[in-house]
C-alpha cells in the first residue's frame, strides 16, 4: 500500500523543499469529503500505479486509508518528471464520474490491407458507483478492415455503468496508410 504524508504548509517554499526531497505533491478530494494536501515518494507512487490492477487503489495518508482514482497529473515539460497529481476518493455506494481506459484486443484485418489502427479516444467518461468501476474497456478490433470504426454506442458496457460520452464519437478505427 502506498503511504504518504499530510502537508502542513502549502506554501511555495515548503512545496519546493518536498520536491527536492523526492516527494510528489498530491491533492486528495471527494464528494462530501475534506480536501487533503498530501505528498508521496515519487518512485513509490510510480511503482504502485504501474502495478495496480484496478482503477482505484489504496493509499494511506496520516491515519486514513483511502481508495483513490487518478484524475489528473502534471509533468515537467523539460524533464518529464511528475510534478503534481490529483486523486479522487472512490467512496463505496457513491455515484461518481470517472475516466476509464480503452484497450484494443486482437489484430485488425485492415493492417494486412495497408491500414493503420487509430485510437481516437484513449479514455471514456463514465458515471457509476466505485464498486462497479471497470478497470478498462476491452474492445475486440480483430474484425476491423480499412475504413471501419467502433463508436461509443458499439461498446459493450455493464448495466451498472452509464456512458457520458456522446454515442456518435469514434473510439477506434482503421484508416488507410498514406
CATH of the domain at 148: 2.170.120.20
What pTM was estimated for this model as a whole? 0.81
pLDDT of residue 27: 95
Residue 171, CB-side half-sphere exposure with 13 Å CA sphere: 26
- Give the residue carrying C-alpha cell 490491407: 113
Same domain? For 77 and 10 the reply is yes
Same domain? For 107 and 167 the reply is yes
Same domain? For 106 and 124 the reply is yes
pLDDT of residue 177: 84
Mean pLDDT by 10 residues, the chain (178 residues): 90 92 93 91 93 91 91 93 93 90 92 91 93 91 92 90 93 90
> Which of 91, 125, 146 is the C-terminal boundary of a domain?
91
Structural domain count, the chain = 2
> Which of 35, 66, 91 is the C-terminal boundary of a domain?
91
> Which of 56, 76, 91 is the C-terminal boundary of a domain?
91
Rounded to whole angstroms, how far apart are CA atoms 150 and 154?
Answer: 6
- The 3-class SS string of 52-115 reads CCCCCEEEEECCEEEEEEEEEEEECCCCCCEEEEEEEECCCCCEEEEEEEEEEECCCHHHCCCE
Same domain? For 86 and 112 the reply is no
Could you list the residue range(s) of the whole structural domain that residue 35 is in?
Answer: 2-91
Cβ count within 10 A of residue 136: 13
Q: Are strands 82-89 and 64-75 parallel, antiparallel or unpaired?
A: antiparallel
pLDDT of residue 10: 86
Amino acid at each position: 500500500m502506498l503511504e504518504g504524508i499530510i502537508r502542513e504548509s502549502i506554501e511555495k517554499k515548503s512545496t519546493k523543499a518536498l520536491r527536492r526531497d523526492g516527494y510528489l505533491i498530491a491533492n486528495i478530494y471527494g464528494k462530501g469529503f475534506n480536501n487533503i494536501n498530501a505528498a508521496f515518494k515519487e518512485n513509490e507512487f510510480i511503482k504502485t500505479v504501474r502495478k495496480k490492477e484496478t482503477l482505484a487503489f489504496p493509499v494511506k495518508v496520516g491515519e486514513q486509508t483511502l481508495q483513490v482514482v487518478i484524475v489528473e497529473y502534471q509533468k515537467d515539460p523539460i524533464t518529464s518528471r511528475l510534478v503534481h497529481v490529483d486523486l479522487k476518493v472512490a467512496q463505496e455506494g457513491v455515484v461518481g464520474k470517472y475516466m476509464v481506459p480503452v484497450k484494443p484486443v486482437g489484430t485488425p484485418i485492415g493492417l494486412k490491407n495497408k491500414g493503420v489502427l487509430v485510437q481516437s479516444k484513449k479514455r471514456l467518461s463514465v458515471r457509476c458507483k466505485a464498486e462497479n468501476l471497470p478497470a478498462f474497456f476491452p474492445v475486440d478490433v480483430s474484425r476491423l478492415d480499412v475504413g471501419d470504426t467502433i463508436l461509443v454506442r458499439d461498446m459493450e458496457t455493464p448495466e451498472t455503468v452509464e456512458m457520458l460520452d456522446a454515442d456518435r464519437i469514434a473510439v477506434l478505427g482503421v484508416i488507410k496508410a498514406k
